[in-house]
Structure 1
Amino acid sequence: MAARAATRATTAKIEQVGWDAARPAPVVLVSGPEELLAERAIRRIRETLAAQDPSLEVTDLDASAAVPGDLTTLASPSLFGEPRLIRVGAVERLSEAFLSETLRYLEAPADGATLVLRHAGGVRGKKLLDAIRGGAGGGIEIACAEVKRDADRSAFASAEFRAAGRRVAPGALRVLVSAFQGDLAELASACQQLIADTSGDIGESTVQTYYAGRMETDAFAVADAALAGRSGEALVLLRHAIDSGADPVPIVAALAMKLRSMAKVLDARGPSAKLAGELGMAPWQIDRAKRDAQGWQSAGVGRAIVFAAETDERVKGAARDPEYAVERLVTFIAHRGEPA
């Protein structure tokens, strides 16, 4: 693995840019398997271009289904000459037509266009990647390698808070990263929850309040089981989490957050990449919310959201037995928001 990385570093003729320093260029190759980092990088490019010119025209193209002329049409200047951002997904499954057209495009990228190519890994498309890395098109590469080390997770979480204009203490970062060793998306959700639910600097005590005692059976595991209708499993996970020291407050918060996301996507139609701007969610959040919403009806989601809001008040002091209040909410959600 190290040898391959070293080889790329010595042969690539284009600038290598970190995901958190992503910027526009005529051609931007976003490579690697970490989808969340890729989404963050592409969003940063879009926000930068939109800040420069609000008339930015954004289009999406699936490289696996592209036909001759697709890229040329999207890159062509419009009547009023607005800047164009072309986001291309599935480059690791690109069609032969897209490969040929893009290789020609690299010879003379269109003025005012930013072409972002998302390649998640694999050998398909190597000829295109080699051309870009060799300097064709005058591009840059944003490598989104899988995040495995705690130091990288800490850097990711720190960037999330920094982007929101919030300061987080080093001790708080350590607790947060320690609590979320699995899916990077869960760490991102935890950061966003803290940003949304708190104000001022985020210290270690704040993170402890939300995530102390989080183990393999945590708020998200409870939420996943309840939303899938597995009532017995959800209650066992809940009891284990509470016995391990988990606070009912973040458990209710995790349930409420997932329910709100479900409500946004329940009746939404279309690809996640296109829905992202409309719903104010990242594509990976939309995909996860759609999975959670399977088997639910709109009325049930609405009732569950109301119940979660009431339970939030109970676990914050309105009830004498907050643990029982959470158990009632978990059972209600496991029954899809229908009376038991």
Structure 2
Amino acid sequence: MFVPRRTSAVATRTTAASRGRAPALISWREAVPAPVVLLSGAEDLLAQRARQRIRARLRESGADLQIHQLDAATYAAGQLTMLASPSLFGETILIEATGLAAMTDDFLTDALAYVANPEPEVYLVLWHAGGNRGKKLLDALRSGVVPTVDCQPLKRDSDKTDFVTGEFHAARRRIEVDAVRALVNAVGSSLPELASACAQLIADTETTVDADTVERYYGGRVEATAFKVADAALSGNSVRAMATLRHAFATGVDPVPLVAALAMKVRAVAKVYGLRGSSAALAGPLSMAPWQIDQARREASRFTEEQLAAALTALAAADAQVKGESRDPEYAVESAVMLIAGN
């Protein structure tokens, strides 16, 4: 059981802080109650998950919890002090402040004063989505080693893969590596949709989730179709690539995400082309998962350096054409697919 332990939010120091280094970011999965917690980053889902986890940990401790919400963008002087005042009934108080990226001057003043001397039995969670507004407060929090939760959007496929794996691990369920990749390809453009898809698969299935299961649920999505075209083209299967592409056009798929998927796949091939070393060793420097490196290497074996350069050039032209430079964007995509698949 979690037992809240009170410490000063800013007075507490560690060796790292004394040397001027900012505290390391922690995952939302590691967020725990503290006198003050900073959620840093624009991804609403991760900030929401962190807040939910902190609430749950406080309730696990048996605390009679009183929760208040504050919008820093519309804040008026004195609100924080009023909400943090000790309860007559001895309740634990949790204050969740959002909108710090557009905080008022009054909020900045009151928050600076509060974090220097937080109230006992009060927990303040601050969400700053990004930008320079409130820099003085952010500097004070970081110098005080306030726990900082990473809520930055997940942009790399490897981060999205880790997210999916974590969702299934937390639910004590298994999902195959190919299924993780298929799910990220299908709905990975939106983290809330990716989380919802994980929840649906966990709820609807009882055995290990495989790629076929993901295909049944999400194979018709635009993102999934785009990656099917890209996979077929990179593998040299021009018949399947063109058939999938023309079916996509027939069902109204926009050419733009198709080109984007092709470009991402070809860029991955270009990243690994000619590199030596294990996939595990290259994963960090390339910002790719080991399985992505293995796949890109297999696909790279079909290309010479000149052919790869021609593919990248064709995709750059196709990207411009599907965004308005051509009256026939579908032909532009078909030409790029045929060039890549025909190598």
TM-score (norm 1): 0.58
The change in CA–CA distance for 1:87 and 1:237 in structure 2 (over 3 A counts) is: farther
Secondary structure of the structure 2 residue equivalent to 1:64: helix
Secondary structure of the structure 1 residue equivalent to 2:221: coil
Q: Would you say the 8 A contact 2:182–2:224 is kept in 1?
A: no
1:111 aligns with 2:124: no
Q: Counterpart of 1:141?
A: 148
Q: Would you say the 8 A contact 1:217–1:241 is kept in 2?
A: no
Q: Counterpart of 2:34?
A: 25
Query: Aligned equivalents of 2:170 and 2:250: distance in 1?
Result: 36
1:155 aligns with 2:166: no
Cα RMSD for the two superposed structures: 2.6
Matched residue count: 215
Query: Aligned equivalents of 2:84 and 2:141: distance in 1?
Result: 17
Q: Counterpart of 2:273?
A: none
Q: What whole-Å deviation, never above 9, does each CA across 1:86-105 have from its counterpart, x for those lacking one? A: 10010111111111111111
Larger radius of gyration: 2
The change in CA–CA distance for 1:237 and 1:56 in structure 2 (over 3 A counts) is: farther
Q: What whole-Å deviation, never above 9, does each CA across 1:132-163 have from its counterpart, x for those lacking one? A: 0110xx52111212211111001111222233
Query: Aligned equivalents of 1:185 and 1:207: distance in 2?
Result: 17
Q: Quick one: which amino acid aligns to residue 157 of structure 2?
A: D
Among the aligned pairs, what percent are the same residue? Answer: 45
Report the CA distance between 1:127 and its aligned residue: 0.7
The change in CA–CA distance for 1:68 and 1:194 in structure 2 (over 3 A counts) is: same
Answer with 206-215 or 20-29: which moved more. 206-215
Q: Counterpart of 1:185?
A: 192
Query: Aligned equivalents of 1:165 and 1:48: distance in 2?
Result: 20
1:165 aligns with 2:172: yes
Q: Would you say the 8 A contact 1:213–1:241 is kept in 2?
A: no
Q: Would you say the 8 A contact 2:99–2:129 is kept in 1?
A: yes
Q: Would you say the 8 A contact 1:161–1:191 is kept in 2?
A: yes
Of 129, 137, 142 in structure 1, the residue corresponding to residue 138 of structure 2 is 129
Q: Counterpart of 1:240?
A: 251
Query: Aligned equivalents of 1:241 and 1:50: distance in 2?
Result: 49
Q: Quick one: which amino acid aligns to residue 186 of structure 1?
A: E
Of 73, 76, 83 in structure 2, the residue corresponding to residue 64 of structure 1 is 73
Q: Counterpart of 2:97?
A: 88
Report the CA distance between 1:177 and its aligned residue: 1.0
Q: Would you say the 8 A contact 1:217–1:237 is kept in 2?
A: no
TM-score (norm 2): 0.57
Of 26, 37, 49 in structure 2, the residue corresponding to residue 40 of structure 1 is 49
Query: Aligned equivalents of 1:123 and 1:240: distance in 2?
Result: 44
Query: Aligned equivalents of 1:168 and 1:241: distance in 2?
Result: 31
Query: Aligned equivalents of 1:145 and 1:162: distance in 2?
Result: 22
Query: Aligned equivalents of 1:238 and 1:35: distance in 2?
Result: 33
Query: Aligned equivalents of 1:183 and 1:190: distance in 2?
Result: 11
Query: Aligned equivalents of 2:172 and 2:86: distance in 1?
Result: 36
Query: Aligned equivalents of 2:172 and 2:95: distance in 1?
Result: 29
The change in CA–CA distance for 1:190 and 1:52 in structure 2 (over 3 A counts) is: same
Secondary structure of the structure 1 residue equivalent to 2:202: helix
Map 1:1-16 → 2, pairs under 5 A: 11-16=20-25
Q: What whole-Å deviation, never above 9, does each CA across 1:108-151 have from its counterpart, x for those lacking one? A: 1111111000011111111110110110xx52111212211111
- Runs of 5+ consecutive residues of structure 1 not aligned to the other structure: 1-7, 219-235, 243-340
The change in CA–CA distance for 1:12 and 1:44 in structure 2 (over 3 A counts) is: farther
Query: Aligned equivalents of 1:15 and 1:85: distance in 2?
Result: 24
- Runs of 5+ consecutive residues of structure 2 not aligned to the other structure: 1-16, 226-246, 254-343
Report the CA distance between 1:212 and its aligned residue: 2.8
